[in-house]
């Protein structure tokens, strides 16, 4: 079978374009080092899995599952994350770019402000490394806020609308232990155009 | 048990509003200056790690225990169970960091000096040498997917040494006695090492206080 070779996606903006909310140094290390490592390790795990498959070695395939989940999740999550951020001075970063989604948010959470508070509360309650997501349940169409631990991706019935990386490497060089300020700042750089597309199913499946 | 005393450096009875005895945990002083572990761990990291991160675990543990005591008073078992993750996370954070500070020491105050006595013998028997144990522990640290700790532990049932990893702030409990812990949370190294965590895992052995590990090993006999 053909073996997929994953590559690091280029950022759709410059490393320092999200300042002052996320520093250029954080973005550069986060993208070029952390994300790259997930891509490399995913390629290695995938290659080993193909080999195990060809050798009919089921034990080896199962033994590789965690490496594929962790590094595959890391690749998926970061790819979604970069695309759901935008420089603060762009029209994409304005909630007005997501009229349908904002309607659903207001219906569910009362107001945009109410939603932000709820989202922040869920994210700050995360114990350890992980991600906060606004998701849509594909069956019920309901919005929800969920956290996934470590690099577990959003799968199953839930479709990710946007994610916020709560690993310490996502904010520590700038915010240290003050992760609340990082979350407060992120609202200035959410790409609502991307979020609207994912909400409406316009963007299709994530291409890796 | 000595671990409990370590984790609860000051025990003060609080006002008798409820019938249960409650404990007020406090941040333990570091037995060395923030900058004393340089260059292995920077003073800035130590300061934030101790005065902010560890302090937050202590404060949140006190808060969770207070809520837990209220749930006990109210006979609210659901409430008690729903508080378990908070107790585990912040209690574990307090226990782990308290053990960690003690099993570090500046170079010149014992930091990095190889173990001796019974622990040294057990390490050689199990791993071949201290260097082999370091490699084993560094590999376990590098393999942590997310936040967590690696520990050299003693299995109380068999007396054997083992290297284990614990996710997030889960403390070492049950049949294992913690001898030596290394914090693999990103906040433990990121300001100095960023994504190069292997360099942190390699450098920290220069400030490992084997005397503390030996004392824990002896106490666990």
What pLDDT was estimated at residue B12? 41
Is the pLDDT at B18 greater than 60, yes or no? no
Q: Is B53 annotated as a binding residue?
A: no
Which stretch of DSSP H or E encloses residue A24?
Answer: helix A24-29
Q: Which residues of A are annotated as a binding site for Mn(2+)?
A: 30, 78, 165, 169
Q: Is B90 annotated as a binding residue?
A: no
- Residue A29, chain B, CB below 8 Å: the answer is yes
Nearest to A127 among B145, B168, B186 (CB): B168
Locus of tokens 């195990």: A52
Beta-carbon separation of A127 and B89 below 8 A:
yes
**Model confidence pLDDT, tens digit, residues A116-125:** 999 999 999 9
Q: What's the pLDDT band for A159 if we cut at 50, 70, 90?
A: very high
List the CATH code of the domain at B39-220: 3.55.40.20
> Residues of B with CB below 8 A from A33's CB?
194-195
Query: What pLDDT is attached to residue B23?
Result: 64
* Contact call for A129 and B187, based on CB within 8 A: no
- Asked if B52's CB is within 8 angstroms of A177's CB, the reply is yes
Q: How far is B221 from chain A (nearest CA, A)?
A: 33
Beta strand extents in A63-204 (DSSP E only): 130-137, 143-149, 158-165
Interface test with B, best of A8, A40, A72, A127 (most B CBs within 10 A): A127
- What are B's interface residues with A at a Cβ cutoff of 8 A? 48, 52-53, 56, 85, 89, 145-148, 167-169, 185-187, 190-191, 194-195
Confidence of residue B221 (pLDDT cuts 50, 70, 90): confident
Q: How is residue B90 written in tokens?
A: 């912040």
Residue B13 CB-density burial (10 A; 0-12 exposed, 13-18 middle, 19+ buried) = exposed
As a whole-number percent, the residues of chain A with pLDDT over 70 amount to 98
Cα–Cα distance, B32 to B11 (Å, whole number): 23
Among all residues of chain B, which has the CA nearest to that of A30? B195
| Helices B210-219 and B117-127, packing angle to 10 deg | 90
A187 shares contact with chain B (CB less than 8 Å): no
Residues A77 and A130: their CA atoms lie apart, in Å, by: 10
By Cβ distance, the residue of A127, A151, A169 closest to B85 is: A127
What pLDDT score was predicted for residue B5?
44
Domain range A24-84, CATH architecture: Orthogonal Bundle (1.10)
What integer pLDDT is reported at residue A203 of this predicted model? 75
How many beta-carbon pairs below 8 A join chains A and B? 53
Confidence of residue A2 (pLDDT cuts 50, 70, 90): low
Confidence class for position A205, pLDDT limits 50, 70, 90? confident
What pLDDT score was predicted for residue A204?
Answer: 73
**What is the structure's pLDDT at B153?**
98
Q: Which of B179, B168, B182 is nearest to B212 (CA)?
A: B179
Is residue A100's pLDDT more than 90?
A: yes
Beta strands in B106-194 (DSSP E): 148-155, 161-167, 176-183
Share of chain B above pLDDT 70, in %: 90
For the four alpha carbons of B47, B49, B54 and B59, in that order, the dihedral sign comes to positive
Which 8-state DSSP code applies to residue A12? S
Contacts of A173 in chain B (CB under 8 A): 190-191, 194
Asked if the model's pLDDT at residue B122 lies above 50, the reply is: yes
Q: Which residues contact B58 (CB under 8 A, 6 or more apart)?
A: B25, B26, B27, B90, B94
Contact B147 A169 (CB under 8 A): no
- How close does chain A come to B145, measured CA to CA in Å? 7
Q: Are A30 and B194 in contact (CB under 8 A)?
A: no
**B168 upstream amide cis, omega within 30 of 0:** no
Q: Which among B193, B195, B198 is the top mutation candidate for probing chain A, defined by the most A β-carbons within 10 Å of its own β-carbon?
A: B195
CB atoms within 10 A of CB B129: 12
- Delimit the domains of chain B by residue range: 39-220
Q: Which fold has domain A91-200?
A: minor pseudopilin epsh fold (3.55.40)
Residue of B nearest to A125 (CA): B86
> B4 falls in which pLDDT band (50, 70, 90)?
very low
The whole-model pTM stands at 0.91
Q: Is A68 left (phi over 0), alpha (psi -120 to 50) or beta?
A: alpha
Q: Mean pLDDT, to the nearest integer, of B24-45? A: 97
pLDDT greater than 80 at residue B131: yes
Question: Which residue is closest to A168 within chain B, CA to CA?
Answer: B186
- List the beta strands (DSSP E) in chain B: 148-155, 161-167, 176-183
Q: Where are the alpha helices (DSSP H) in A84-191?
A: 99-109, 112-124, 172-175, 179-186
The CA distance from A135 to A146, in Å, is: 7
pLDDT tens track for A61-70: 999 999 999 9
Beta-carbon-side half-sphere exposure of residue A120 (alpha carbons within 13 Å)? 16
> What pLDDT was estimated at residue A207?
82
**Residues B94-112, buried b or exposed e (16+ Cβ, 10 A)?**
bbbbbbbbbbbbbeeeebb
């Amino acid at each position: 079978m053909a073996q997929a070779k994953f590559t690091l996606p280029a950022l759709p903006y410059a490393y320092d374009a999200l300042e002052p909310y996320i520093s250029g140094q954080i973005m550069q290390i986060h993208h070029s080092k952390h994300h790259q490592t997930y891509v490399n390790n995913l390629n290695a795990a995938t290659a080993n899995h193909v080999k195990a498959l060809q050798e009919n070695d089921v034990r080896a395939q199962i033994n590789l599952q965690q490496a594929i989940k962790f590094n595959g999740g890391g690749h998926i999550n970061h790819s979604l994350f970069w695309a759901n951020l935008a420089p603060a001075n762009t029209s994409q970063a304005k909630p007005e770019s997501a009229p349908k989604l904002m309607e659903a948010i207001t219906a569910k959470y009362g107001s945009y402000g109410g939603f932000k508070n709820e989202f922040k509360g869920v994210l700050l309650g995360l114990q350890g490394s992980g991600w906060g997501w606004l998701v849509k349940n594909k069956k019920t169409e309901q919005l929800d806020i969920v956290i996934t631990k470590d690099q577990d991706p959003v799968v199953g019935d839930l479709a990710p609308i946007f994610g916020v990386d709560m690993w310490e490497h996502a904010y520590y060089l700038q915010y240290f232990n003050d992760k609340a300020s990082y979350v407060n700042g992120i609202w200035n750089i959410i790409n609502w155009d991307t979020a609207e597309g994912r909400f409406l199913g316009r963007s299709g499946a994530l291409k890796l | 048990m000595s671990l409990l005393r370590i984790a609860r450096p000051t025990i003060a009875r609080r006002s008798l509003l409820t019938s249960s005895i409650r404990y007020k945990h406090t941040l333990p002083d570091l037995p060395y200056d923030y900058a004393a572990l340089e260059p292995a761990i920077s003073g800035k990291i130590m300061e934030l790690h101790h005065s902010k991160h560890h302090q937050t675990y202590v404060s949140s543990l006190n808060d969770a225990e207070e809520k837990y005591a209220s749930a006990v008073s109210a006979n609210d078992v659901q409430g008690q169970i729903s508080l378990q993750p908070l107790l585990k996370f912040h209690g574990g954070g307090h226990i782990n960091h308290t053990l960690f500070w003690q099993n570090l020491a500046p170079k010149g105050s014992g930091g990095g000096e190889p173990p001796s006595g019974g622990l040294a013998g057990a390490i050689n028997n199990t791993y071949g040498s201290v260097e082999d144990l370091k490699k084993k522990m560094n590999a376990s640290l590098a393999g942590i997917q997310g936040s967590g700790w690696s520990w050299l532990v003693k299995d109380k049932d068999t007396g054997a040494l083992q290297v284990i990893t614990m996710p997030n702030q889960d403390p070492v409990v049950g049949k294992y006695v913690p001898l030596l812990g290394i914090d693999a949370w990103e906040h433990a190294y990121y300001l100095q090492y960023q994504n190069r965590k292997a360099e942190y895992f390699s450098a920290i052995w220069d400030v490992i206080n084997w005397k503390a590990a030996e004392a824990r090993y002896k106490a666990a006999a």
